Structure 1
Amino acid sequence: MRKDRHHQMYQQMLKAIVEHQLPPGLRLPEDKLAATFAISRTGVRKVLQRLALEKFVTIEPNKGAHVSEPSVEEARQVIDSRIMLEPLLIGAVIDNWDESAKSRLQQLIDIEHLARHADDLAEQIDLTAQFHIELASISGNQVMADFVQQLAYRSSLVVAVYGSRHSVGCDCGDHQELLELLDERQVESSIQWMKVHLQAIKQSLNFSESHDSDVDFSSIFTPLD
């Protein structure tokens, strides 16, 4: 199977998870997905492994794959961990700030704005995670950057399950605002912006939403080209 078909399937499944068409805990049988997408089970397995790496899917030995299901407490802890950790990196980010760092973040912001205007929630969730991961890498502390990466992926799942467009929209703050503060080397203002930004994401989550447990894959997905 061609690589672009893998990506097409990945995009369809990620979009379905983010838009709550595939509820948390839903089993993802390889045979049914293979039949729905008209591809081999080997191809399905590769896509599920990618989604598992990004924490959207959980694969258990002898049980197969299912949509990951973070508990409410886990979801809160993930965001709280980010609130504690990410502001600590701002000083080091500014110490390492240069035109290259600014350019990398600006590129992500520009693509993020396009996704927002296209109302592509799945793409927005992915891009906001990539922004925070890239920001952490600029700090130069690889150990802390790795922690942020893990938390950002888990946070993406939390937003996919409990969030909405408000969780990645301007209601929680535009990343462009932070970039401008960093470019002006305003350490305290940047730290405060990050805290408010992450707290707003936490407040945007809805922990009372219920999900259906039975899904017809053929009504959600289309066979690949």
Structure 2
Amino acid sequence: MSRDNITAMGNRRKAKSRDSRRDEEIYRAMSEAIVEHRLSPGDRLPEDALAEAFDVSRTGIRKVLQRLALERLVTIQANRGASVARPSPGEARDVFGARRMVECALMDAVADNMTEEDLAELRQLVRDERHAQGRGEQRQAIQLSAAFHTRLSRVARNEPMSEFIGQLALRSSLVIAVYGSTDSIGCDCGDHGEVLDLLEAGEKDKARKWMAGHLEHIERSLRFESGSEGTPDFKSIFQRRAQSGAGDG
């Protein structure tokens, strides 16, 4: 193989790697915007507007939208395009039913595998969530709640189950965005620190019951009413995020 061919192959690999990294950046930006509710359920996601906002091709945006659709965060319909998923009441109940079955069943493994490092990270998430609730930052509190459940599931050391719970937690955040009330993330649902105390003490049965009651309370707090649809200002949403991220360093 000639030097020119080797150089060309190397350039193609580099370009492909850059494209993959950019796709991942866009995926993370959009999934975070959905979870944080900067993009609301029902918001339309036109490929051309998103491509302009991210300064990429529509093909790249289409790949990201398809990935989000597989995770049930986005809905893609023929002749209507993509929009942020708006779960139906039935889907909402199914999500919480699945969470009760899976998360409660994991409590034994979580208690058996919990390390001091796990506990410290989880307690920090609880503190952050309390602060967000105290400041009235509902979107941040919802995000931190989902992060807590996802991180807790990882303690079980069962990757397929923790991935499944992570997806359910993301879908739950959409459900709460559409149907939730202040009770859905408030103290009435139980402080996550309570289940950590039970797990640390090895109270597996009580931890299972606490988790079941916690998720049942959130489901009961939902108000199944419909909302409006619209097309958000993507440049404003994602430029604001980029500026915030630059300041964090």
Unaligned 5+ segments in structure 1 are: none
The one-letter code of the counterpart of 2:196 is L
SS at match of 1:166: helix
More RCO (CA 8 Å, sep 6+): 1
Which among 48, 55, 66 is matched to residue 40 of structure 1? 55
**Gaps spanning 5+ residues in structure 2: where?**
1-21, 244-249
What is the distance in 2 between the residues matched to 1:9 and 1:96?
33
Answer with 147-156 or 69-78: which moved more: 147-156
Q: Which residue of 1 aligns with 2:162?
A: 145
- Residues 133, 145 of structure 1: 8 Å contact kept: yes
Residue identity matched to 2:121:
R
Distance verdict in 2 for CA 1:42–1:131, change over 3 Å: farther
Deviation at 1:188, TM superposition (A): 1.7
Alpha-carbon spacing, 1:178–1:222, altered in 2? closer, same or farther (3 Å): closer
Residue in structure 1 matching 2:37, options 11, 15, 33: 15
The one of 203, 212, 228 equivalent to 1:212 is 228
Cα distance change on mapping 1:116 and 1:8 into 2, 3 Å: farther
Matching residue of 1:132 = 149
Q: What is the distance in 2 between the residues matched to 1:104 and 1:145?
A: 16
The two structures have a TM-score, normalised by structure 2, of 0.71
Identity of aligned residues (%): 42
- The alignment partner of 2:82 has SS state of strand
The CA RMSD over aligned residues, in Å, is 3.2
Cα distance change on mapping 1:16 and 1:222 into 2, 3 Å: closer
Aligned residue identity for 1:15: H
Change in CA separation of 1:115 and 1:179 when aligned onto 2, cut-off 3 Å: same
Match of 1:171 among 185, 188, 199: 188
Q: What SS class does the counterpart of residue 66 from structure 1 fall into?
A: strand
Cα deviation for residue 76 of structure 1 reads: 0.5
**Using the alignment, how far apart are the partners of 2:32 and 2:115 within structure 1?**
33
* Structure 1 position 128, deviation (Å): 1.1
Q: Is the 8 A contact 1:166 1:204 kept in 2?
A: yes
**2:99 is matched with which residue?**
82
For residue 15 of structure 1, give the secondary structure of its aligned residue in structure 2: coil
Q: CA deviation at 1:104?
A: 1.9
Cα 1:23–1:222 change in 2 (3 A) is closer
Aligned to 2:208: 191
CA distance in 2, matches of 1:176, 1:129: 14
Question: In structure 1, how many angstroms separate the alpha carbons of the residues matched to 2:219 and 2:86?
Answer: 17
Greater Rg over alpha carbons, structure = 2
Deviation of 1:42 after TM superposition, in Å, equals 4.6
